[in-house]
Chains A and B, each alone.
Chain A
Amino acid sequence: MYNIKGYLDACTVSEAIELLAQNPNLRIIAGGTDVLIKMQHGQFQEAELLSIRTLESMADIKKLEDGTMIIGALATFSQIFNDPIIQAEIPALAEAAVSMGGPQIRNIATIGGNICNGATSADSASTLFALNASLRLESKTGARLVPIREFYLGPGKVDLKPGEILTEFRVAPEDYRGFGGHYIKFAARKAMDIATLGVSVMCKVAAKTLTEVRIGLGVAGPTPLRCVEAEEFAKGQEISKDTLAQIGKLAVKSTNARTSWRASKEYREHLVEELVQRALKTAIVRAGGEELA
């Protein structure tokens, strides 16, 4: 049951910021696919909602002249999946977007909400981690840019200060150009499911060598994370089955999986080792490398 005490609809970003400054108890609602469920489960009582749904400027996806990708926080998952720029430049993000929920949810859920919700299972998060995306947060006192890896503070906790609105994601050209990427969502179902593990890998290859590898994981710890040790090792390694196997093993070292009724720690770690290799295999091909037998 939705116990909605108040509902404000902002017409511009500055108006939203102003309203938020006046009443810090306002809870921002965009697509509502997380907020409404939390309300139904009684997680917030008597919510006063501030809707930002109609702020069209925050839904843009564009590439700036210097190559920086801008993804508005209100871009929906359907929009991201169907966007020609995303499909051309960072297809792994399109893969992540289309893996989320079902068509109806993808039509309304936003990438900004997905990240601000703070869940380790957020389908867009591991790819945004691998892309070194940064978040633009605006408030009455100004704007700040925060790298996504610093935005997550703990399970369900993000660095969104009172009065702040996430307006857009930025991906610098050096973080996606020349990379091949792939996202694997491992879940019990092919749709309408939460990931048991999300693996997003970006890599660059030259000749038969990996020049850079980035591995973002979801549900491998309390927040999305990067596999730094594996990435360090991978740099400059010759592409081979052995290399991939070692990367898979090292990736597990960065994880902090736990046993729950959903899956055991042992199984999750096994999946990390296996799926990092599978994602990297595809990413290598997409980066222009040769397919490993």
Chain B
Amino acid sequence: MADLFIGDDLADDIEIAAVAAAVGATNTVVHAGERLVYGGTQRRRDHRHLLLPALHALQNAKGWISPGGLNHVCTLLQVPPAEAYGVATFYEMFRLDEPDYGPGVSHVTHVCVDAACQIAGSRELIAELEASGAQVHRSPCLGQCERPPAQFHQGIGRPDLVPADFAAGGAGLGGSPTEKIPQQGDPSLRLLRNVGVVDPTSLEAYRANGGYQALDRAIAMGADAVCSAVAGSGLSGRGGAAFPTGIKWRAVAAEQGRPKHVVANCDESEPGTFKDRVVMENDPFAVIESLTLAGFATGAENGWIYIRGEYPLATARLQNAVNQAQDAGLLGSNAAGSGQRFDIEIRRGAGAYICGEETALFASLEGFRGEPRSKPPFPTTHGLFSEPTAINNPETLINTLDIVLYGAEQYRRRGTERSPGTKLLCVSGRVTKPGVYEVEFGVSLGEVLALAGPLTGSGRLAAVLMGGAAGSFVGPDALDLPLTLEDTRERGTTLGSGVIMAFTDEIDMTAVALRIAEFFRNESCGQCVPCRVGTVRQHETMLQLQTAGGLGAKRRKLIEDISQVMVDASICGLGHTAASAINSAFDLGLLPGGRNDDN
């Protein structure tokens, strides 16, 4: 096979069949003769984005990726084996060493050890599962913080699943709406209006409840008017960075002459965040409709959904929605009668927090290591495959449906002047009714906590983690804080991805902070020095804090120095925010105080 060197190990029939089922239908086999007319790096590039699906297939077939299996995929997709190995070893869900599971093991149980689950007994659950002989993998946040401690079963020779989906009677695709959210039935809900009400597996049901009216309206208005409405609404990205969506869409719409993309960033991995999962599982057609709308508005013909690997139910329901939309002509060569082609492909991530960073997501989707790229250039000109790309998460996308249907002015009636609209909040921790809540921007933190009911346990509120591990802690004195972009910024905290996690004074906050430090150490991609080494040194210093019961002047200075270089010199947001929650915990006095020695 021409110029790639592939080793001698061969794949077995199971691996070959699994890979064929995952990527075989796309004519990826390269015949040596073709190289004469069409070969080299262009050929590679055309198929490389199938690397992640192929690796998933290998992992699922055998419980690991064997040298023979990797060689087979490399031959098929024309990827250098060293690079494919580099990609495979990047992800939490892939194993490259042969496991010794013994016969009959059908899955590995991932148990979340991040904050919400950590304080809800994940350690005890792990001990229990291990005692029963289960294969346990300690996992970062699984995005099920409202039902801790969370589990995810990574299948071997059978599909992945989340046990809690079965408990709720919603296995596989689920026949009927299963999710019960705390605000169920509240007529003021906009983003969550279909959740638990409309059958998430039926296009017919979605349409009967007003689905696809927004897309029809958008097509009638024209792309330019849609961009104007979105810009006029003041909608900003709901993933944490709060970039104005209208500006992003307009920039992509203005690009001409190259293929364009819209990407739904469904790699929700920020510890404490699960809102997009609830939306995708229970209102998948809204995600598909709004992504199609984004494609129409920006003139992009290619839609992509990159969803984290630990969300099997959401993946199945989105795929089902895509299939039904395709059959109904809402996707395809003349999507919904728009006169424009629009197709959607779904890609599963494989366990890497960093892939929620937009440029890392592009790299991962293209079949490279999920390492962030330097900005500028920005995704609107150099995004997926270095082509113009608008990337938004599901919450941001579904906001555009109401904006198009009812106009920017109507949309701005909710929320505040500078933070218009409603916001999904992921409330978890020591509250009676954890879950996703939709509130208008401007309600106070205390009001949101009140919605979620009294605190559980006998302790008093000690702190609230805002915005996840990349966010910051606030104290009980912040209950009056209005939840808007501007007010949180002014108080030195963040709404981030909408995490509101409550901690009481019974909780060992040193252990919580230590785990946050460990999270960033494990999730740093390793590309830039400030983050790769900084997160390790930060974690080590926190370990010293735990052993010594406090930090002397020298160590406090170290924590500050490490924090500053990560903020100033890291490539991406992971490094920029890796010290934020820990710094806030120190500032609030949640951690053991300073000692009077030098160390």
Tell me whether A and B are bound partners: no
